[in-house]
Structure 1
Amino acid sequence: MKQPRAVVMGAGVGGLTATAALHRSGWAVTVLERAATLEPVGAAISLTPNAQRALDVIGLGDDIRALAAWRGDGELRTPGGRRLARMDGAAANGRFGGPTVLLHRATLVDLLASRLPGDLVRTGAAAELADPGAADRPARVTVADEELEAELVVAADGIHSAARGVLFPGRPGPRYAGFTTWRIVAPAPARPFTPHETWGRGRLWGTQPLLDGRVYAYAAAFTPEGGRAPDDERAELLRLFGDWHRPIPDLLAAVEPGDVLRHDIRHQTEPLPAYHRGRTVLLGDAAHAMAPTLGQGGNQAIEDAVVLAHHVAAGDAAHAADLPGALAAYTRDRLPRTMDIVRRSALSSRMPALSSAPAVALRDAVVAAVSRLVPGLLLRGFDGIADWRPPGPRQGRARQGPGGPDRSSRAATRGRADR
């Protein structure tokens, strides 16, 4: 059988995971990345147990687990430092099968790239989807003065995906989620700290350790879209968070203005008709951009990648003979799950968005009381997310266990965008 060809548009976390999974499944893959290098945009990424199990499929799960920097408890605090709730690390590990691993995005990209032959990724290659293909013709992608034909195109081209517009013209894309975020990686403060997230009035801050001794911190403010600091973003963070509890002021004092990343958050709250059309599939933010409040954006892109590779495995004669049917199965498995997480992520942002003093006081009192009376309640917010497992070789396209693809969702999407 002739080796099938795949083109992956975008070499981010989702695109590289898809490349590794497809390569292992028997595909000849070419990756086209617009940027000049694989150096990722962003600071850190948290990989929850669902994504770690997905990475087991490409032999990377144990490497990721070895990078866990913290296996203890976490805290939810007020700006003054009062603890509202405690996240039990041991209970989370037992409930979901392991710890969440926080690592720098560059580390993850390097690990993913190490699983690929050196000639698969072409950087500085701005690609455009010319034809999504159909059952009787290949898909076509143009790059520079060259046109590539492929049995499969994976559009992992991010939140501003041009391929999404080609597949579903006129459909609304991601919209502003109501808040902007800042991210920094700073030296560890002199005084030890417990990982925490802190909620204020329409603002939040999180501080988490990295294995290399540095600290990843993120902040958010619920503010109109498009805002920028009049001077620099570090100065803006000092205005917003400089009087919050330690180590927040210490971390801000340790970074330079150019070390601060700021991005408005957008999410895809209106679902697309499908995640495929013809021989082209959408993956990650191109399909289902979500708010970072549950930390699932990159994790869901990784899930997408291994589920796609499962359905289009080149050695599976049935899938090879019916690639459009395999892509429809990918949509049926992924669209309901990811859109549920998009909605849950949007809902989870409402609590820290509260800004009036009475509402914030009531929120804090309720969170503290619930945490004290029902200690494991906060963990339940990740049920159906962190307990997901990838499809096994004998399960085919059926339901794969907690949080996995659901047969009941298939009728709603059967046959969509197969043309």
Structure 2
Amino acid sequence: MGNVAVVVGGGIGGLAVAIGLRRVGWEVRVVERTSVLDDAGAGISLAANGLRALDALGVGEAVREAARGQYTGGTRTPEGGWLTRMDGAVLEKAVGTPIMGIARSTLHRLLRASLPGEVLLIGSEVESVQRIDHGRVRVGCADRVLEADLVVAADGIGSTVRGLLFPTHPGPAYSGSTVLRAITEPAMDLRSDFELTWGRGAEFGHIALRDGRAEWHAVLNLPAGTRFPDPLAELRRRFRDWHDPIPALLDATRPNAVLHHDVHELSRPLPSYTLGRIALLGDAAHAMTPHLGQGACQALEDAVTLASALATEPTVEAALARYDVERRPRSQAVARAARQAGRMGQRLSHPLAVALRNTAMRLTPPGAATRMILRHHAWVPPQLN
């Protein structure tokens, strides 16, 4: 088996698989199209499955030290009433760790710190991927040509490589929701570690970070491409009557810190995550809505599973076949569950449907809610030799 890999994309999934491949003896180059690593993004919640994947990659301890455990909070109505309460201690007892909140920029930096500097090629966009002699793959960039025994496409929801491999696939579809998010500038005196609030066709949530700041997000049912001249002012208008600390979070945000993205997903599942010696990973393979907070966690699972398969199978082809068999059913099931969670949560707008949902949530026993969470969090990574 050859041992030279090119990873397309330097986000969470791409960096994670590069770390995993190096741990099992592969030479790796990560090709990232952006020329400046500004680590744009807000915050992220890492569940037990994502944290276990990071442990397998050898960076779990560093991530935990930089993150904040989510022990308190839950889901509320705009008036402030509780639909469900979070008990992070119960979850920690069940799976060994609480959910952890961390800034995306911090996670990116910690992952990059586990790689030699020369591994990352920035400002280089992939334009072509083609098979050459003896099963090797040639990756054509605007400024260079690379050859490898394996190509891992971790180039996100708009994946160039996915389009080359599956030209008849429709690609990402708009979910009907758009998300605005930011990290507050000063520290916040928050009463809980994590909250979601569901209104009619709208959601507001926050994550408390270790340094005292908070990440917040607002999800709205709007036509694709909707943009506001002053996003922060628009959110203050929409959420002015919602419970504390929502207005305070918006007041603690710089206007130029607000990010706005439409939420897309691969609503038509891919028939395979591999073709020849090319593997798709993360959003390139299974972009999902954010309603379960599993997008990054599934990419981390992908990274560890692929590295393990390459370490234990006799050929690259056998390793990729195993990767597809192990990852495609699980990740696509999580994507379906995330879509359903959105339909029953933030996407609901009819008053009667919202009232029925809220009643059902209040009546759900805490144990049942914990069991639903464990379906996705209770994943054990394979060993990396």
Residues 63-111 of structure 1 deviation map (CA, whole Å, 9 limit, x = unaligned):
2222342342222111111112112111111222211111111111111
Match of 2:334 among 330, 341, 344: 341
> Using a 3 Å threshold, how does the CA distance of structure 1 residues 60 and 220 change in structure 2: closer, same or farther?
same
SS in structure 1 of the partner of residue 234 of structure 2? helix
Match of 1:361 among 355, 358, 362: 355
Match of 1:111 in 2: 110
Distance of 1:194 and 1:29 partners within structure 2: 38
> Using a 3 Å threshold, how does the CA distance of structure 1 residues 221 and 167 change in structure 2: closer, same or farther?
same
Amino acid at match of 1:204: E
User: 1:282-321 to 2 correspondence within 5 Å?
Assistant: 282-313=280-311, 316=312, 318-319=313-314
User: 1:131-210 to 2 correspondence within 5 Å?
Assistant: 131-132=130-131, 136-186=134-184, 187-190=186-189, 192-193=191-192, 195-210=194-209
SS in structure 1 of the partner of residue 176 of structure 2? strand
Distance of 1:97 and 1:46 partners within structure 2: 16
Residues 369-417 of structure 1 deviation map (CA, whole Å, 9 limit, x = unaligned):
22xxx122222222331110111369xxxxxxxxxxxxxxxxxxxxxxx
Are residue 244 (structure 1) and residue 242 (structure 2) matched?
yes
> Using a 3 Å threshold, how does the CA distance of structure 1 residues 218 and 145 change in structure 2: closer, same or farther?
closer
Divergent runs of 4+, >6 A: none
> Using a 3 Å threshold, how does the CA distance of structure 1 residues 133 and 100 change in structure 2: closer, same or farther?
farther
Amino acid at match of 2:383: G
Residues 44-79 of structure 1 deviation map (CA, whole Å, 9 limit, x = unaligned):
111111111111122111222223423422221111
Identity score, percent: 45
Residues 129-166 of structure 1 deviation map (CA, whole Å, 9 limit, x = unaligned):
330458x3311101234211100011111100010011
Are residue 38 (structure 1) and residue 37 (structure 2) matched?
yes
Q: Contact 1:46 / 1:295 at 8 angstroms: preserved in 2?
A: yes
Distance of 2:282 and 2:183 partners within structure 1: 24
Q: Contact 2:171 / 2:266 at 8 angstroms: preserved in 1?
A: yes
Q: Contact 1:102 / 1:210 at 8 angstroms: preserved in 2?
A: yes
Distance of 2:328 and 2:38 partners within structure 1: 29
Amino acid at match of 1:263: H
> Using a 3 Å threshold, how does the CA distance of structure 1 residues 312 and 89 change in structure 2: closer, same or farther?
same
> Using a 3 Å threshold, how does the CA distance of structure 1 residues 132 and 380 change in structure 2: closer, same or farther?
farther
Q: Which runs of 5 or more structure 2 residues have no equivalent in the other structure? A: none
Q: Contact 2:129 / 2:140 at 8 angstroms: preserved in 1?
A: yes
Q: Contact 2:276 / 2:317 at 8 angstroms: preserved in 1?
A: yes
Q: CA deviation at 1:190?
A: 4.6
Equivalent residues, number: 383
Amino acid at match of 1:329: R
Distance of 2:178 and 2:77 partners within structure 1: 20
Q: CA deviation at 1:328?
A: 1.1
Match of 1:416 in 2: none
User: 1:39-54 to 2 correspondence within 5 Å?
Assistant: 39-54=38-53
TM-score with structure 2 length normalisation?
0.95
Residues 284-337 of structure 1 deviation map (CA, whole Å, 9 limit, x = unaligned):
000000000000111111111111111112xx5x52xx2112111111111000
Q: Contact 2:53 / 2:300 at 8 angstroms: preserved in 1?
A: yes
Distance of 1:132 and 1:341 partners within structure 2: 32
User: 1:259-298 to 2 correspondence within 5 Å?
Assistant: 259-298=257-296
SS in structure 1 of the partner of residue 381 of structure 2? coil
Distance of 1:63 and 1:193 partners within structure 2: 23
Q: Contact 1:67 / 1:101 at 8 angstroms: preserved in 2?
A: no
Distance of 2:334 and 2:182 partners within structure 1: 26
Amino acid at match of 1:336: P
Q: Contact 2:189 / 2:212 at 8 angstroms: preserved in 1?
A: no
Q: Contact 1:68 / 1:100 at 8 angstroms: preserved in 2?
A: no
Amino acid at match of 2:38: E
Q: CA deviation at 1:359?
A: 2.0
User: 1:222-261 to 2 correspondence within 5 Å?
Assistant: 222-229=221-228, 231-261=229-259
SS in structure 2 of the partner of residue 385 of structure 1? helix
SS in structure 1 of the partner of residue 216 of structure 2? strand
RMSD of aligned alpha carbons: 1.7
Distance of 2:128 and 2:327 partners within structure 1: 22
Match of 1:384 in 2: 375
> Using a 3 Å threshold, how does the CA distance of structure 1 residues 287 and 133 change in structure 2: closer, same or farther?
farther
Residues 8-67 of structure 1 deviation map (CA, whole Å, 9 limit, x = unaligned):
111000000011111111111111110113332311111111111111122111222223
SS in structure 2 of the partner of residue 197 of structure 1? strand
Residues 334-391 of structure 1 deviation map (CA, whole Å, 9 limit, x = unaligned):
1000000000000000122221222222222221122xxx122222222331110111
Distance of 2:323 and 2:190 partners within structure 1: 48
> Using a 3 Å threshold, how does the CA distance of structure 1 residues 295 and 369 change in structure 2: closer, same or farther?
same
Distance of 1:196 and 1:109 partners within structure 2: 24
Q: Contact 2:272 / 2:324 at 8 angstroms: preserved in 1?
A: yes
Match of 1:129 in 2: 128
Distance of 1:194 and 1:109 partners within structure 2: 22
